[in-house]
Amino acid sequence: MNKISMYVCLFMFFTVTSAQTSHDGRKVYIVYMGALPSINDYVTIEDHHFSLVRSVTGKSYTPSLIVTNYGRSFDGFAAWLTEEESKKLSDMPDVFSVFPDGMLHLDVINNGGIHSGLRTRHL
């Protein structure tokens, strides 16, 4: 292995391990709050999301806990939370649901060695 490859591998290793330890004990949760409010001001919606996360995380709050805000199509956000914090959020009146972000896997149907993917229905 040449030196450049070794440095790239080491850099990637330390980047991944530091990213995993920066949110120790937390997972990304999606917080769905329903339709956009009548006042569709993105900054106001984003501030509301920050205040919700701040209220459940307390002293451990940092702005980097919020991964992204969904304030253009529907009201919601993704944030690094503990299981306890996600339960607190789900009990709030403004919140419809809180669920862990996860990789979704599609079922692949095997037809004689050909992977056709999803079945579709033609009308």
CA–CA separation, 37 vs 100, rounded Å? 24
Q: Count CA atoms closer than 13 A to 41's CA, side-chain side.
A: 5
Q: Does residue 72 sit in helix, strand or coil?
A: coil
pLDDT for the residue 19: 45
Q: Do residues 36 and 71 touch, judged by C-beta distance below 8 A?
A: yes
Structure-model confidence comparison of residues 101 and 18, the more confident one = 101
Question: What is the model's pTM?
Answer: 0.63
Q: How confident is the model over 59-107, as pLDDT tens digits? A: 888 889 999 998 778 899 999 999 999 999 999 998 999 999 986 656 6
Class of domain 24-123: alpha beta
pLDDT score, position 35:
87
**Chain-centroid distance, C-alpha 74:** 15
Mean pLDDT of the chain: 76
